[in-house]
Structure 1
Amino acid sequence: MRKMFLLLILLLPIVLFPQQETGASTEVVAMVNGEVITMEMLNLEADLSRILKGIASIDTRFFDVLTTTQEGIMFLLRYKKEVLNDMVDQLLIQQLARKEGIDISDEEVGKIVSKRLEDTAKSLGATIEELDKFLKESGFGDIEKLKKRLKWALKTQLSLERLKEKVTASATVTEDEVKSYYENNKDQFKTQSSIHALRILTKTKEDAEKALDLIRSGEDFSKVASDLSVDELTKHTGGDMGWFTKDAPFLDEDVKKIIFNAPVGAILGPYKTSKGWEIYKIVEIKRASLIPLEKVKEDIVNILLSDKKNRMWNDWLKKSFNEFKKQSKVEILLGGGKE
C-alpha cells in the first residue's frame, strides 16, 4: 500500500498537471471514433491548477490533504476522470450532429467566440489585451486558453441546438389543442381586480378628520390631498396612486379588504395604519375577468409547441444518443491505461 501511495505521489504532476510539468500537452487521453482528446484539452476543461490555487488561498490544510494524501490524490484523479467522461459525451454529441448532416465549422465557432470576448471586454470598458492581462493576474490562464475552452463548449452547444431544430421541425399545434389548453387552464388567463384610487395620508387623526370634513363640505379630494397629505410620493399629484391590485405591497391588509369591495366614487376612512391615518377615494375599478382566447392564442401555441418540441427532443436524444454511444469506439487512456 505504501508503495502504491509513493507511486501516486510520483505520478501526480504527470497525470494532473502534465502540460506544466512535463510538456506532454499532446498526450492522448481518450479516443472517440478515431478523434482524440488530448491532455491539453482535458487540463483546460478540468482547470485543476486554478481550482487548487483557489483552495490553497482559502484553506492550506485542505490543500495539503488534497495534494499530499492518497485519498486526496485519488479524489483529484477521480474528478479529472469525470471531466474526461463528460468531454467524451460532448465529443459524441458533436459527432452525432455531423452524422445527421449538421456541420459546425471551426471558423464559425471561432468568430462567435471572438465576438463574445470583444463584447465582454467592451462591456467592462477594457481592450482584449487588458482582458488577457486580467485573466492572467486572476489565475484564469490567458485569453487563448479561454478561447479554447469557449470554442469546445460552444461547438457542443451549437450541435445540441441545431440537432434539436432538425429533430423538432415537424412539431405542430392544432386548434383543438389550443382550445383544450385554454379551457383546462383558465386560471392562467384571468386578470386580477384592480383599482385606481386617490389617497390622503396624515400623521394624526385630527388632521385626517379635518381633511374628511373639507371633502364632505364639497372641497375637491385632490386639492385636499395636495394641501394636507404628508405622502411625498402622491401629494403633488393630488393623492393619485394610479392603478394597483390586491397584492400591492404598500396597502395594509385590513384596508385592502375594504377598498376592494367599495364602489366607484366611495370616500373611505380615515383608517389607522402603520403609516399614519389614511383616507381613500375610489376613482375606477376593473373587475377580475377572463382574457379572451383570441388574445392569448399565440401564448398558448408557444407553450404547447415548446412542450411538444422538448418531449420530441428528449425522446429522440435519449434513444439516438444512447444507440450512437453504444456503437461508438471509445478508449479512455488517461494515466496510460485503457478502458
Structure 2
Amino acid sequence: MTSPIPTTSRRTVIAALVLILVAGACSGLPGAATPTHTPLPPPPSATPEPLAAEVNGERITLDEFEREVRRFATGRASLGIDLAPSPDDRKAVLRAMIEERVVVQAALSEGLTVDETAIAQGVDQARAARGGDPAFSEWLGQSGYTVEEFTLALKRQMLSRAITDRIVDGVPPQGEQVHAAHILVSSQAVADEVRLNIASGADFARTARTYSQDLSTRAGGGDLGWFPRGWLAVPEIEAAAFALAPGELSPVVVAADGFHIVTTIARENERPLSAPALEAARRKALRDWIDEKVAAAQVQVFVALP
C-alpha cells in the first residue's frame, strides 16, 4: 500500500500596529509633524513540499516516498528476506506508487466508488487483527502512518481492487489453442538429421525419446500438451506451433536453448483454458492494461533513480 500526502494545520496570527501621536499641549510648542507610515513587508510564502513524482497532476511527496521505501524494507525483513537495500528497491517502490495512482485515477474516471462503511470496516479489521487500539496505534507509528493516512491508503487499495477485478474478469475462459510436440538438440547438424528422419517416416514420439535433450518432455515423446498464445517459455517454439497446420513439421527452429523440431498435433479455436493458463492470461491482461495506462499518463519524476 502507498501512503497519502500528509496535511499540516497552520495558524495565522494577525498583528495590528497602532501608532499613537501625541500633540503638544502647550501653545508655545511647534506644531506636530505629519506622521508617515512605513509599509510592512509581505508575509513569506510557504516553501513547497519536495516531490518524488507527479502523476496526472497528483503529487507523490518525497516524504511519502521515503516512508514507503522504509515500509518495503520492513516488510521484506518480516518475511525473512535478508538482503541489503538496493537502489533498484527505490525504483521498484516508486514504480509501484505511480502505477497505483494511475489505477486509482482510472477507477475514479470510470465512476467506481468505495462505500465509506466498507472502508471503516477495513480499518476496524486491521485494528482487531493487531489486538486493539494500543497495538494498532503502535503499528501505525512503526509503519509511518496516521489513522487518516492508513484510511486513505486502504481506500486506494479497494478502488484498485475494484477496477483490476473488472479487467481480469473480462478475460475469456476459452480461446485458440494448439496441441504440439517438440524435440530439442544441441546443434544444427543433428537437428537437420533428426528432421530428415522424421520427414522420411520416422515416428516423432519415438525419435523424441531417443534424441531430445528436453528432460521435461522427452519421456512423453516431446509432448507439450495444449496451450494458448503467450504460454510457453520459449516463444520460438510457440510461434512455430501456431504457424503449422495439424500434422505438419516445422523447419529447424533456433532458440536460446538450442535447436528444435516442432510438430502441431491438433488445433482448436475455442478450447477451455486450463486453470494455470487462465491465471496466466489474466495476469498478462492486467499487466498490459496497467502498462498502457502508465504510458498514457503524464508522469514527472523528481528523484534520482538508477
TM range, normalised to the smaller chain?
A: 0.3 to 0.5
TM-score (structure 1 length as normaliser): 0.36
- Richer in helix (by share): 1
TM-score (structure 2 length as normaliser): 0.39
